[in-house]
Structure 1
């Protein structure tokens, strides 16, 4: 397949990537402020979605190892699984915050500053990583190997950071859940 059909194929996805990259953060921000009345809080979800983040990090590392070993089929399966895990995390996270009040961090001193640094970078990068993940995925899907590799060098550490810091944030705030 020459480069022109690949680029045309990619262009089919670009509008969807743009829409999702804008709509997802806006929808999460809006839904974060929505409280469903008379619904039992889903207080069991935080350890589950933190575990989902941990599993996402592990799957991303396994996908990286698979591609380095030349196992492209396994790499594709693992990256697709990581994408599904990230979507499940997002659904659980939003569901939790629509039924429960936000938990305030109770730490003090330097640990508090560390927590807020991790939290803020996690939130910002979780928004920034969306188009990177989608573009990288589409370039892999459309078999644009060199372009995929170039952006994956940026996407992988960003996505891994978001997954790992999601776990760190949970561990640090978990003593303060009611």
Structure 2
């Protein structure tokens, strides 16, 4: 393992632990401020756009459009970061919305929500490792982990949109 890979691996571990911890801590911080815009439909749209980017990136690489694939993936990462910043900002400045559905729909909502939350934490190291393997030109290992990262990341983005759609009547 090269020293460059070891350096990246340290950052992957640090970020994979720090991001969920910081988000959890910031959820406990309440700022008495009103944001000038209502963020949930914006960050849900960013999630939807990220899902589209991921699908397009897979199409691009299957069609040997490597530069397009790289641009789409980097844009997807930026969108995910932008989503996370907006999501945390919203929850620091607003009370959490309770889901108002009853019966089976409530169970469906919570199954989707909980799987979304758990997998949104789990996907962090996958995305980081996949990205590092690409930028260090370790393409064979990149391909191997990308087979897991893509469906996981796609699931997280799509379920984020579903959760928003399901809770939006209760805002």
With the shorter chain as reference, the TM-score category is over 0.9
Q: Specify the alignment match of 1:157 in structure 2.
A: 151
Give the deviation of 1:151 after TM superposition: 0.3
Give the deviation of 1:42 after TM superposition: 5.8
Q: Specify the alignment match of 1:130 in structure 2.
A: 124
Tell me, in whole angstroms, the C-alpha distance in 1 between the residues paired with 2:138 and 2:3.
Answer: 12
Task: From the superposition, tell whether residues 169 and 43 of structure 1 become closer, same or farther in structure 2 (CA, over 3 Å).
Answer: farther
Matched, 1:81 2:70: no
CA contact (8 A) 1:56 1:86 kept: yes
Q: Specify the alignment match of 1:116 in structure 2.
A: 110
Q: Specify the alignment match of 2:11 in structure 1.
A: 16
Equivalences for residues 43-122 of structure 1 within 5 A: 44-122=38-116
CA contact (8 A) 1:136 1:152 kept: yes
Tell me, in whole angstroms, the C-alpha distance in 2 between the residues paired with 1:128 and 1:84.
Answer: 18
TM-score normalised by the chain length of structure 2: 0.97
Give the deviation of 1:33 after TM superposition: 1.2
CA contact (8 A) 1:42 1:99 kept: no
Tell me, in whole angstroms, the C-alpha distance in 2 between the residues paired with 1:42 and 1:53.
Answer: 21
CA RMSD of aligned residues (A): 1.1
Structure 1: gaps spanning 5 or more residues: none
Tell me, in whole angstroms, the C-alpha distance in 1 between the residues paired with 2:90 and 2:34.
Answer: 10
Tell me, in whole angstroms, the C-alpha distance in 2 between the residues paired with 1:41 and 1:117.
Answer: 30
Tell me, in whole angstroms, the C-alpha distance in 1 between the residues paired with 2:106 and 2:145.
Answer: 34
Give secondary structure in 2 for the equivalent of 1:104.
coil
Per-residue CA deviations over 1:43-87 (Å, capped at 9, x if unaligned) read 610000000000000000000000000111111110000000000
Tell me, in whole angstroms, the C-alpha distance in 2 between the residues paired with 1:57 and 1:146.
Answer: 24
Give the deviation of 1:41 after TM superposition: 4.5
CA contact (8 A) 1:43 1:96 kept: no
